[in-house]
Each structure stands twice: as structure tokens, then as C-alpha cells.
Structure 1
């Protein structure tokens, strides 16, 4: 079993509000949290997409989460619980084994076609953020990405200085691959919630097989960059209250009944978004 980085839980002040603790509350809320939906869209039956689709199904431009190298679809459970409680439709994905960015983008496009989603908002963390940008670039002639939200993402894989080793990850045993990923985890004094989050991500890393991890590290380090002119017309946010700008439009990821008329007026005035008639 893997051991997380040496962590020291710093003292934490008393909590004044309830906080979700531990691992995801599988079995709670709407839908079947215990078993993610499994979808095959490629000719290769071994390429299985896993996803949690939560919130109102009538929303046709949902927010889709793409995890980092060490992540699985369920790492976004806190975000799913919060956003669906506010009326958003959220899809958290775990992508199958792909060995190059074009192959991933083609598979992701087929998945969106299968889900009958013409446009989506993408949230990507780390590698997930890079893949989100590459998909926006890949579909720039027939846009499928309405907006991007990037967290700890990158636009050029050369920053890792491992492009020369990218094609050898498939040969490495699982424990070596996991050791590479663990080297990027925080260590030292952290607050208890951060320590719990790191423990949870280490647990998720343990759940990944050799081929899954090798393919993700290959995508992470394979020589590539995002062509900026192909995504320049897409709204991009580095975190922040991103989805508000789409309230009242056909690209809203939230149930319209959850948005007040006053909020729509504020958004119309502050952001200049063209509103559609209900």
C-alpha cells in the first residue's frame, strides 16, 4: 500500500458550520452513488468511461469535471453535492486508457454525442485542465466547449521537463508510477481538512491500475501545447464564480427556477450577457 507524504495536522479553530467529513457519502442523495454509470463509445470494449451525472437532466449544457492524474470521478463529490443543491447539472468523469491527446479528444467527443450534449462547460484540474483545453482546441471548427474553468492547469507539457520519458511510462511498474505522482503531493504542516483531502487522493491513487496511471502520465508529459488562437473566443476562468455569466442563457448549467429575477438583472448589467426570453 502507498503511504502519503509526511503530514502534520496543524491546530484547527472550532468549526461554526457543518462540514462534510471523510469519504463520499455513497448511497446518499439522489441517484446511485455507489455505482458510477459505465459507457463505452469506442470500438475497443476495454475503453470504459465512468461518470456520475447529477442534477436536473433537462439541462443541456452541464458542467463537466475532469480529474487530475491521481483522481477518479468521485473526487468531486463535494462539488457535486453543493452544485446540485443549487440546481446545477454536474457530470464527473473518469476517462479510460488513452495514449495520446487526439485519441482522448475523439473519445470525449463520442461520449458527448452519446449523452446528446452539444455544448458543455468544462472544469479541469491539473491534467484534466490541460485535456479540457485540448478538447476545446480539437473542436474549434465545430465548438463543443462553451467555457473553461481551470484549476492548477497548464497549457504546455514542456514545463514538466519529462517529454523525453513520456513514451516509457507504459513500461514502468505501478509502484514506480505512483511514487512519481506522490512526489507532487503536499508535505509538512497542513490543516486537518487539507490532510484529509490528501489522504483521500492517495486512496484514489491506490485504486488506479498500472495502465490507467501510465496513460495519464503519458498524456501529462507527452510533448504538446494548447494553440491559443483556437480557444481565444472561449470564456476561461481560473476558478472564481464562473457560471454566473451564463445565467438566463441557453448555455446555463443551472435550473432557471433556481435563479431569481433580481440576480438575472444584476448579471445582465454587470457582465453584459445577452439574456434570452424565458
Structure 2
């Protein structure tokens, strides 16, 4: 099928991640990504006593509320570039971030405090993907007054399904190649639409930029037993974005998240895979905009043409996929 990528192609992408020569990803070689890199400089800041550095890209007016984006276990700040290129031109302040190696929730909370102090937002809304969404919920439990709203993308409220009591303490001692293979083993090897395949390809390429500490800390957080309890945020300020096609996250975790936040807004992406923010950015960015408008975030762009037929009062459904 012309719009699908077969398993042999996925296999070649896996080879690239473990050091077997292969081509660069389509997205990283695209004019879109090259334009992003020329428009948004990479920033690094050490914010805590350990001098761990957060990597991030930033765009938008610093006087407007901040949308902070946090990737999942296999993601880098670059993996969220389409949120910057899609939302910043519309007047939103967006930061695509990559946390340093934190091995416990408490370390993450303290580091996030310091990072937000550095960014100094007027108010903060957070988009968290997968593990990033779980950590966002944990942060809101510990700092209930600091975050105004959250968007959870393909996320979960419990790590019990990923917990491996024997293996988890060993991640920090494993070599980088072994850790990469553990992450790659969770990716979908079946036929997938081209945008989903290109997103996987890009993420795999980004894995090569991550060090042993980055990978081992993400796997440790993902594999440490934990459940979200005591989150006091009003559910009207929570949006759940989920891919409807096959993902690494078990379906029961999505259902558990829906049960945990029954009054949260729910949005679906028909073909987004594990990385809908990369594979279906128009849909995900639309849902982000709807969420931000609903919680009171406004932007001032006098030359911005109004959209025909509002979406705020409608059920959140995905627009048609991009034609190939």
C-alpha cells in the first residue's frame, strides 16, 4: 500500500538506532525541521545543585502564559518541534523541553521547580506525552498551585503495568546500547501509515543523541511502581489526547486514565501512533488550542484571520488526515 510502511522498513530504522549504517530520517532532513532549527536556537540551563542541564527550545511572547511540553521515555526536545512551529506563529508561548537524568519523582519535582523559576512564566500549562504526562500529574500532586492546566497525550496514571522489580534498579548500570534496545522493543513493528512511520523514524534517530543517563533514568521512572493519587486540579482543566490506533501503551491504561478523570475533555487522533504530536501535528495542535482557549488563555494577533465555525463548543474530534 502506498500510504503504509512495511515491517522491513521499520527493521531498517531499528538498525540505524543500534549503529548499523542507514539513511537519515525523512523528518530530520525536511525543510520544515531545518527551518525550525534555524528559527529556534537550542538552549541549555543548569538549574539545581547537581548542575543537571535542561535542554529546551523556546518561542513566543514571554508576557503570555506558557505552554511547557515534556516528552515521553524515548523523546527529546526536538521531538516536540511541531508544537513550536505550529503554535508560536499564532501568538502562544511554547517551550519544548527535555529534562535531565532524574531517577525519582522527588528529583523531578525539585528540578521542575527550578526550571520553572528560570522560565518565570506568568502562568503555566503543561503538555505531557506518555511518561512525561505521568510526571506532570505527579508534579501537580506535589505542587497543586503552580500549574493552571494539563494536557496528557497517550499517557497513564499508574506505572504498575511497566514495573519490573528485578530489572528496574539495574537500568542505571546497563550500557547505552542495551537501554536503546529495551526502548525499541516497545515500538510497533506492524504496517503503519507513512506519517506514523516517519515519526518513529525521527524518534529512533533522536535516541542516538541521548546518553546512558538519559535513557536509564527514563526507564527507571517508567518502571518504578507509582500511582497518581491526590491530584486536586479541576477536571475541566484537564484534556486527554489519545491515539486510537496501536500504541506501546496497553489499552487498559488508557481506560484507567479515562476512569481516573471522568470529567476531563477527551480528544482522539485516528492515526497518531505513539507520537501523535509528530505524526498528526495539525490535530494535536488544534486540540491544544481548544484546551488553552477553554481555560482562558488568549493571544493578541490583530492580523490573525478568525476561523470559520468555532470548535470550542463542539465535541473534540479529529480533522481528516493530511493527504499524501
Is this contact kept in 2: 1:54–1:91, CA < 8 A?
yes
1:180-199 to structure 2, matched below 5 A, reads 180-199=182-201
- After the TM superposition, which of the residue ranges 225-234 and 172-181 deviates more from structure 2? 225-234
Q: Aligned with 2:148: secondary structure? A: strand
Q: Aligned with 1:57: secondary structure? A: coil
Counterpart CA distance in 1 for 2:169 and 2:60 is 39
Instruction: Show the counterpart of 1:214.
Output: 216
Instruction: Show the counterpart of 1:36.
Output: 42
Q: Aligned with 1:169: secondary structure? A: helix
Counterpart CA distance in 2 for 1:30 and 1:73 is 12
Pairing partner for 1:254 from 285, 290, 299: 299
Q: Give the CA deviation at 1:210.
A: 0.7
Pairing partner for 1:223 from 217, 222, 225: 225
Instruction: Show the counterpart of 2:205.
Output: 203
Counterpart CA distance in 1 for 2:178 and 2:307 is 54
Counterpart CA distance in 1 for 2:177 and 2:216 is 11
Is this contact kept in 1: 2:163–2:222, CA < 8 A?
no
Q: Aligned with 1:247: secondary structure? A: helix
Is this contact kept in 1: 2:103–2:217, CA < 8 A?
yes
Gaps (5+ residues) in structure 2? 1-5, 11-25, 242-266, 268-286, 315-324
Counterpart CA distance in 1 for 2:189 and 2:137 is 29
TM-score, length basis structure 1: 0.78
Counterpart CA distance in 1 for 2:211 and 2:176 is 7
Determine if the alignment matches structure 1 residue 144 to structure 2 residue 155. Answer: no
Counterpart CA distance in 1 for 2:107 and 2:198 is 34
- After the TM superposition, which of the residue ranges 61-70 and 254-263 deviates more from structure 2? 254-263
Q: Give the CA deviation at 1:129.
A: 0.7
Please give the root-mean-square deviation of Cα atoms over the aligned residues, in Å: 2.9
Q: Aligned with 2:191: secondary structure? A: strand
Q: Aligned with 1:52: secondary structure? A: strand
Is this contact kept in 2: 1:56–1:89, CA < 8 A?
yes
Instruction: Show the counterpart of 1:102.
Output: 106
CA 246–65 in structure 1, closer or farther in 2 if over 3 Å, else same: closer
Instruction: Show the counterpart of 1:13.
Output: none
Instruction: Show the counterpart of 1:89.
Output: 93
Q: How many residues were matched structurally?
A: 248
Q: Give the CA deviation at 1:94.
A: 0.6
Counterpart CA distance in 2 for 1:119 and 1:152 is 24
Determine if the alignment matches structure 1 residue 22 to structure 2 residue 27. Answer: yes
1:206-250 deviation per Cα after TM superposition (whole angstroms, max 9, x unaligned): 11111110011111111211114434556111124244354397x
Q: Give the CA deviation at 1:150.
A: 1.0
1:23-79 deviation per Cα after TM superposition (whole angstroms, max 9, x unaligned): 26455269753x41111110222x0011111122221x2211101111110111122
Instruction: Show the counterpart of 2:21.
Output: none
Instruction: Show the counterpart of 1:73.
Output: 77
Counterpart CA distance in 1 for 2:27 and 2:288 is 27
Is this contact kept in 2: 1:145–1:234, CA < 8 A?
no
Instruction: Show the counterpart of 1:57.
Output: 62
CA 170–146 in structure 1, closer or farther in 2 if over 3 Å, else same: same
